[in-house]
C-alpha cells in the first residue's frame, strides 16, 4: 500500500514553457507519484507517472471537481508540450494546468504528466454527490478511470461479488475515495452500461428475425455467432440475484 503522494515542488506563479519542459524531461524519478494527488493545494506541482496504461488518466482524480477549459500545443512555434487548462466547477480562482510531451519517444520518456495548481481555495465550494439526502454530506469526487475499468471486467459475476472484490483491495485510506468503488450503485451502473454495449439494437433484432424467416433455422444454425447476446442475458439474471 503506497502512501499519500507528495508534491514534486511548489511555485505560486505559473512557470514558463521552457521551465515546464525542462522539468518534465529531466526530473528526479524518486519524487514521482504513481497515485493520484490527494486534495492538492495551490502552488503544488506534481509529477504523475502511471504504472499501467489503464492508469494514464488517474491524475485527474485528485479529489477536486474540475471543468476542462481548453488544450494548447506549446510553444506556438515547434511545439513540444500539450497543455490542458482546468478551473474548479465553483470557485474559478483555483485552477490547474496539466502538461504532457507531444512526443515522449523523442525524449526517451514514458507517459509523464506534470500538474501545476495555482491561485486560491478561498472561493471553492464543496459540492455534494447527487441529490439524494444520504449523499448530502458526501463530497463530489471523481472516481479514477482505472477503477471504473475494473468494474467492467467481471460482467458475468454477481454484483455483490464484484463489489466485495473491488473493496477488498489494499488501498491507502486517503485514496479510497478515488481508487475504490463509490458504492454498489456505481458498480451496478458500470456493469450494466458495459453489457448494453454488447446487446443487439432493436433494428438488429428485426433484421435477424427477417433473415430467420427467409432462411429457416438460421439463428439456431449460427447461434454461436450470437454468444454475446446469450451471455449478456445470463449476466443480467446474475445481477438480479
Mean pLDDT (the chain) is 83
Mark whether 160 and 211 lie in a shared domain. Answer: yes
- Which pLDDT tens digit goes with each residue over 69-100? 999 999 999 999 999 999 988 766 899 999 99
Closest Cα partner for 62 from 77, 81, 74, 48?
Answer: 48
Residue-number span of the structural domain to which 19 is assigned? 9-119
- Residues 6 or more apart in contact with residue 25 via CB below 8 angstroms: 101, 107, 109
Provide φ and ψ at 96, rounded to 5°: -145, 160
149 domain residue, yes or no: yes
163 within domain boundaries: yes
Across 119-127, average pLDDT: 75
pLDDT at 178 over 80: yes
Q: Domain total for the chain?
A: 2
Question: pLDDT class for 149, splitting at 50, 70, 90?
Answer: very high
Residue at 196 is within a domain: yes
Among candidate residues 119, 154, 182, the one where a domain is terminated: 119
Residue 96's DSSP bridge partners are 86, 117
Q: What is the pTM of this model?
A: 0.77
130, part of any domain: no
4 occurs within a structural domain: no
Find the mean pLDDT for residues 35-43: 93
Q: Is residue 41 part of a domain?
A: yes
17-30 residue pLDDT tens: 999 999 999 888 88
Cell of 114: 506534470
pLDDT at 165 over 80: yes
Q: Which residues pair with 48 in a beta bridge?
A: 33, 113
73 found inside a domain: yes
Write down the pLDDT at residue 48.
95
Distance spanning both ends of the chain, measured CA to CA:
33
Question: Is the residue at 179 inside a domain?
Answer: yes
Same domain, yes or no: 106 and 175:
no
Do 13 and 75 share a domain, yes or no?
A: yes
Amino acid at each position: 500500500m503506497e502512501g499519500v503522494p507528495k508534491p514534486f515542488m511548489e511555485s505560486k506563479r505559473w512557470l514558463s514553457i521552457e521551465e515546464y519542459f525542462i522539468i518534465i524531461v529531466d526530473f528526479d524519478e524518486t519524487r514521482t507519484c504513481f497515485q493520484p494527488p490527494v486534495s492538492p493545494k495551490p502552488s503544488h506541482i506534481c509529477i504523475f507517472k502511471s504504472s499501467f496504461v489503464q492508469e494514464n488518466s488517474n491524475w485527474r482524480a485528485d479529489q477536486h471537481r474540475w471543468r476542462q477549459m481548453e488544450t494548447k500545443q506549446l510553444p506556438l512555434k515547434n511545439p513540444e508540450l500539450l497543455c490542458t487548462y482546468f478551473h474548479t466547477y465553483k470557485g474559478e480562482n483555483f485552477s490547474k494546468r496539466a502538461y504532457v510531451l507531444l512526443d515522449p519517444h523523442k525524449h526517451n520518456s514514458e507517459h509523464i504528466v506534470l500538474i501545476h495548481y495555482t491561485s486560491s481555495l478561498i472561493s471553492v465550494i464543496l459540492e455534494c454527490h447527487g441529490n439524494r439526502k444520504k449523499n448530502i454530506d458526501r463530497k463530489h469526487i471523481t472516481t479514477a478511470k482505472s477503477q471504473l475499468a475494473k468494474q467492467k471486467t467481471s460482467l458475468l459475476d454477481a454484483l455483490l461479488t464484484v463489489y466485495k472484490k473491488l473493496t477488498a483491495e489494499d488501498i491507502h485510506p486517503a485514496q479510497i475515495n478515488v481508487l475504490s468503488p463509490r458504492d454498489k450503485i456505481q458498480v451496478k451502473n458500470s456493469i450494466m452500461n458495459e453489457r448494453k454495449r454488447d446487446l443487439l439494437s432493436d433494428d438488429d433484432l428485426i433484421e435477424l428475425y427477417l433473415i430467420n424467416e427467409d432462411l429457416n433455422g438460421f439463428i439456431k444454425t449460427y447461434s454461436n455467432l450470437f454468444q454475446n447476446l446469450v451471455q449478456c442475458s445470463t449476466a443480467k439474471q446474475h445481477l438480479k440475484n
